[in-house]
Amino acid sequence: MSQLENKKILLGVCGGISAYKSAVLLRALQQAGAEVRVVMTSSAQAFVTPLTFQALCGHPVYTELLDPEQEAAMDHISLARWADMILVAPATANFIARVANGHASDLLSTLCLAATIPIALAPAMNQAMWNNPATQRNIDTITRYGYRLWGPDEGDQACGETGPGRMLEPETLLRRASDFLKPGPLRGVSVLMTAGGTQEPIDPVRFVGNRSSGKMGYALAEAMRDLGAEVTLVSGPVSLNPPSAIDICTVQTANEMRDAVMARVEECSIFIAVAAVADYRPASVAAEKIKKRSDSLNLELVRNPDILAEVAALADPPFTVGFAAETEQVEAFAEEKRRSKGVDMIAANQVGTSEGGFESDRNSLTLLWEGGRESLAMMEKSHLARQLSERILKRYQLERGVDE
């Protein structure tokens, strides 16, 4: 069976010279088994007529946002819900700017704004337009919003210039779509995670906190999602954009994080505790802002619940993964933590050094499990998260006897 069998793809076509290649792409997607509907912007119709796509796909092409006839066939929200993914090829600089700014000025941009499914863009434009800081800023924005960027390619351009900006060839886009839509190994598996740090209030304006940025937890949540898992992320306060297709529950304190986790833990098969949970909280929270009246102030702290240990001690615990941030004897302390908390796998990292750790974009990890260990070298947290997600998947499958 083809990997695109029964997959529903909404093919968006913008106004660029490579729009003619979209007709070839449409045929290739169909031949691979996908069901395709086409949406064209008005400038796309200056390059190729809707009739070309209609004849190839066997369905009317959607072009208008406010056309009662087209809306009667399938309104724009139903169209966004119908598809498994939206692929915009070619995606022009103008279209990218529109989605980066949340415009809903025509049917295609409205569909992207209304969509809860993955969206991939295949950019196509002149190399100077691609390199322009405004375009690069828009690209940066939409990638953070969760848009996938397929391309562009480098090479000769229709305008006679050479450089980055060519749309990927239809066969490459077909391969990207097939890889992207193939069922992930964790499809249907529910993963619960914690990320970020907690804030323990002292009074209405102050708290005890830590340096956790949430970057590692958020990157790992995305990597688990990309393996097909249904991810719920219980997050402390962070300044990161919420990742797409991940259920987020935001909390402030360790107690709130514990309650949010315990309310959801029964439904999950894997629990990953990445959060830097405060070990202690102020014994009491002052109702009013504490005034600086004396030379010293004693803050009495009491222990917070250990969420990871509590989950691991459940009668029927999920597969549990913990983190251990240590400043010395990293592996020995992490192994001791793994055993004392009774978790299946622990990811240990060195903190307090110049590279890696809490606020950094890079990190390295040593993974420890019963009878095994593996080191993952210093790299970008997003890459590290992907490698870690694959190791978690493997240990989960081996220990829980889940078929690969």
Element spanning 143, H or E? helix 133-144
Closest contact distance (angstroms) between CB of 105 and ligand C5P is 44
Residues 85-124 that bind ligand C5P (CB under 6 A): none
Q: For ligand C5P, give the closer residue by CB, 41 or 194.
A: 194
Dist. CA 183–CA 288, nearest whole Å: 54
The residue (of 35 and 306) whose beta carbon lies closer to ligand C5P is: 306
Report the residue number, 304 or 366, with the smaller CB distance to ligand C5P: 304
In the complex, what is the shortest distance from the CB of residue 373 to ligand C5P, in angstroms, rounded to a whole number? 17
Smallest separation (angstroms) from ligand C5P to the CB of 390: 19
Q: Total number of residues binding ligand C5P (CB under 6 A)? A: 16
Q: Which of 57, 112, 159, 268 is catalytic?
A: 159
Cβ(219)–Cβ(213) below 8 Å = no
Tokens (6 digits) for 291: 């005034």
112 a catalytic residue: no
Locus of tokens 């990445």 = 274
Q: From the CB of 186, what's the least distance to ligand C5P, in Å? A: 20
In the list 63, 70, 126, 304, the residue contacting ligand C5P (rule: CB under 6 A) is 304
Subset of residues 244 to 273 that bind ligand C5P, contact rule: CB under 6 A: 254, 273
Q: Collapsing DSSP states into helix, strand and coil, what is residue 375?
A: strand
Show the tokens assigned to 307: 């969420």
Q: Is the peptide bond before 90 cis (omega within 30 degrees of 0)?
A: yes
Place of tokens 């796998």: 345
Q: Which two tokens stand for residue 132?
A: 């322009």
Cβ closest to ligand C5P, residue 153 vs residue 279: 279
Q: What residues from 307 to 366 belong to the interface with ligand C5P (CB under 6 A)? A: 307-308, 322-324, 337
CB-facing half-sphere around the CA of 216: CA atoms within 13 A: 31
For 46, counting Cβ atoms within 10 Å of its Cβ (0-12 exposed, 13-18 middle, 19+ buried), the class is exposed
* C-beta of 147 vs 323, nearer to ligand C5P: 323
Closest Cα partner for 186 from 147, 218, 215, 221? 221
Strands annotated E in 204-333: 206-208, 230-235, 247-250, 270-273, 280-282, 301-303, 319-326
Structure tokens at 248: 């987020």
Which residue's CB is nearer to ligand C5P, number 124 or number 193? 193
Measured distance CA(171)–CA(177) in Å, rounded: 10
Question: Does residue 215 interact with ligand C5P by CB under 6 A?
Answer: no
Q: Could you say which of 25, 38, 173, 275 contacts ligand C5P (CB under 6 A)?
A: 275
The span of 56-64, 223-231, 284-292, 304-312 binding ligand C5P (CB under 6 A) equals 304-312
Catalytically annotated residues: 159
Chain residues binding ligand C5P by CB under 6 A are 194, 254, 273-275, 277, 279, 304-308, 322-324, 337
